[in-house]
Amino acid sequence: MMRRLLLVLAIVAATGAVNPAALDPRNPTCPEKPDWGMAKAMTLTPAEKGGKHVLIADGIIDARLPIRLKAALEADERIEEIWLKSRGGDATAGNLAGKVIRSFPGMLTRIPAGWTCFSSCNFVFMGGDRRLVEPGGVFMVHMFTHTGDRDVIEISVDEGTEETTRLIGEIEQASALLASEDNDFLIRMGISRKLLTEVMYRQQAVATKENPSTRYCLNQEEVSKYNVMPLEQAD
């Protein structure tokens, strides 16, 4: 365990990672101002970092990311790591992009210190055969839900009981399907299903005045506990 910790610290020093951001006083598990990348479709940029040829994935996960990611990896066989920084995006595309990464044996995914991987970015990251959340890197999760659009819910209430009942049925069906897909993905990627039951699904879906936070950031102990970052992996 000590050898692994020293290895991680050496990698952080070699990559020139920045110090972690200040914590959010409303949610001390997460940074107050997360660095989760550009507010536009994810860019895929090859770069030399710490003596490694890596692919920097920065931005919002769009529907075409799985296709673009596969093409980028096929076009450059020297890529040995994927560095991720994203506020999330298309949930289905995130799952598919994770599966694309898993189809390239030995690929390592990394969240560098100071960078944040949130929401559907979690599933892209978990596609790596090997996975590293550097100390100071942020693996930020929330409850995957279809109930976040309050405007749609309020409109259905105004339209009457029948419309509200229909919407609730659609929400329940869609949420159950998403939960099933998430569970299946975690099993395939070797992640503990407890990540869903003990962490993701325990976060509140909608912020309230009493509890404005809907997010949770795993610490180094937790990323190991849930096998987000495997305890034993090749150097």
CATH number of the domain where residue 123 is located: 3.90.226.10
Q: Is residue 18 domain-resident? A: no
**Which tokens is 152 given?**
């749609």
Summarize pLDDT for 146-155 with one digit per residue, the tens. Answer: 444 443 344 4
Domains contained in the chain, number: 1
Q: How far apart are the first and last CA of the chain?
A: 13
Tell me how far apart the alpha carbons of residues 156 and 94 are, in angstroms, rounded to a whole number. 29
pTM of structure: 0.77
Question: What span, in angstroms and rounded, lies between the C-alpha atoms of 89 and 97?
Answer: 12
Whether 62 is in a domain gets the answer yes
Closest CA to 168 of 157, 178, 181, 177: 157
Q: Indicate if the pLDDT at residue 19 is higher than 90.
A: no
User: Does residue 174 have a pLDDT over 70?
Assistant: no
Residue 13 has pLDDT above 90, yes or no: no
Share of the chain above pLDDT 90, in %: 54
Q: What's the chain's average pLDDT?
A: 80
Q: pLDDT tens digits, residue range 182-203?
A: 778 888 899 998 988 888 877 7
| Residue 89, in any domain of the structure | yes
H-run or E-run covering 140: strand 138-142
Is 235 a domain residue?
Answer: no
State the residue range of the domain holding 154: 40-205+212-225
Choose between 147 and 226: higher pLDDT: 226
Rounded Cα gap, residues 235 and 215, in angstroms: 31
In a domain? residue 14? no
81 located within any domain? yes
Domain presence at residue 173 = yes
Question: Which tens digit of pLDDT belongs to each residue from 67-118?
Answer: 999 999 999 999 999 999 999 988 889 999 999 999 999 999 999 999 999 9
Question: Phi and psi dihedrals of 64, rounded to 5?
Answer: -90, 0
* Domain presence at residue 108: yes
